[in-house]
Structure 1
Amino acid sequence: MIDDKLIMNNMEIWLDKAVIGLNLCPFAKAPRVKDQIRIAISHAKHLDGFLEDLDNEIQMLLHTPANELETTLLVHAELFDDFFIFNDMLDIAEAALVDNQAEGIIQIAPFHPKFQFADTEADDITNYTNRSPYPTLHLIREDSIAKATQAFPDAAVIFERNMSVLQEMGQDGWDKMAIPNVSGCPLHKEKP
């Protein structure tokens, strides 16, 4: 089992260097500065337990004012090593929004160390827009998205800009950022 402090540290490195540092999400800096991003770590042994953790995080977001908690990253360091299994789980995660009466209130965005967009090769640098140190579900308030789209009415511009930034920096540029588990940087050293 990976230590929670290490998971938290690696997620914060990713947030600060990639998401905010490269401006992959122009809306992330303000909640990060205000300490309104919750990083929740799941230790579920099976999918059912992870989905219970997801239910709990959805409920927390629904019942906490946005000025206290803007968004949540639900992380599981070990359960979803295979990206395609993680990707298949997303349909069930979306159903959790309906079950929690959160549809239209919260959206889920997936991140994974091996994230791969449809019709791309696994090593395509543009996949790194959605690569994180660990399998992660980002729970986003719809109201926050609505406010953000006022500043950026065409979300496709952000996506295109992100792809362009990553293509310009290339794999070498990404690797130099040393984001754990995304650039091949080890997450932890094995105990002797």
Structure 2
Amino acid sequence: MEQHIAIRVAVVRWLNEVVIGLNLCPFARKPTSENRVRFVISEATDDETLLQDLQQELIRLDATPASEVETSLLIVPDHLQDFWDYNQFLSWANQLLKRNGWAGVYQLASFHPHYCFAGAEPDDAENLTNRAPYPILHIIREASLEQALQYFPDVDAVPENNKTTVESLTAAQRLQLFPYLFNST
């Protein structure tokens, strides 16, 4: 249980200081401040168990109105530590959405300690926008996203703005915001 508390604290800190603090996701502040983000720690150590955990969380979201739980972060501390394995798993996760009729209802956003955009080098600063303390599957309600987009006119600028933001961080800021990525000794 103590480990779960430490994991949750690290993810909440990342969400508040990085995602919201750097305004990397303009839609994150409201549900977070309203306590409508669900943090679920998976104990999965294999793909099948993680797919079951993902399915259970999707079922829970189906049964819970967005006014209570807007979105879920499925945190995976003990599996998919390799980013390429994680990427492979995302294919399975998206197949689960399609197979169960959730495509168009939910979408997955992905975060990983070693996240690397296609075409980027592993050490490129832009990767920091999707680097989290643990592998995370972020389950987003499509209807909520569409509604939020009405209030954000230039959503296409977000990736480039995010890249500029993380590239402008000093080494000290990177160490402070991403302590799990940089060895301080």
TM-score, normalization by structure 2? 0.94
- Report if aligned partners of 1:58, 1:100 keep a CA contact under 8 Å in 2: no
User: Equivalents in 1 of 2:104, 2:171: separation in Å?
Assistant: 37
- SS of 1:108's partner is strand
The yes-or-no answer on 1:12 pairing with 2:12 is: yes
Deviation at 1:167, TM superposition (A): 1.1
**Structure 1: 5+ residue runs without aligned partners?**
187-192
Deviation at 1:155, TM superposition (A): 2.2
User: Equivalents in 2 of 1:157, 1:2: separation in Å?
Assistant: 40
Q: RMSD across aligned C-alpha pairs, in angstroms?
A: 1.8
Q: Give the letter for the 2:99 counterpart.
A: D
**Structure 2: 5+ residue runs without aligned partners?**
none
- Report if aligned partners of 1:10, 1:180 keep a CA contact under 8 Å in 2: no
- Structure 1 residues 57 and 184 mapped into 2: Cα distance closer, same or farther (>3 Å)? farther
User: Equivalents in 2 of 1:184, 1:76: separation in Å?
Assistant: 22
User: Equivalents in 1 of 2:97, 2:183: separation in Å?
Assistant: 33
Name the structure 2 match of 1:181: 180
TM-score, normalization by structure 1? 0.91
- Report if aligned partners of 2:44, 2:78 keep a CA contact under 8 Å in 1: no
- Structure 1 residues 185 and 89 mapped into 2: Cα distance closer, same or farther (>3 Å)? farther
Structure 1: which 4+ aligned runs deviate by more than 3 Å?
A: 182-186
User: Equivalents in 1 of 2:173, 2:139: separation in Å?
Assistant: 29
Could you tell me the percent identity over the aligned residues?
A: 38
Q: Give the letter for the 2:31 counterpart.
A: P
User: Equivalents in 2 of 1:184, 1:96: separation in Å?
Assistant: 37
Aligned residues: 185
The yes-or-no answer on 1:83 pairing with 2:83 is: yes
- SS of 1:169's partner is coil
Name the structure 2 match of 1:24: 24
- Structure 1 residues 182 and 141 mapped into 2: Cα distance closer, same or farther (>3 Å)? farther
* Correspondence list, 1:138-149, <5 A: 138-149=138-149
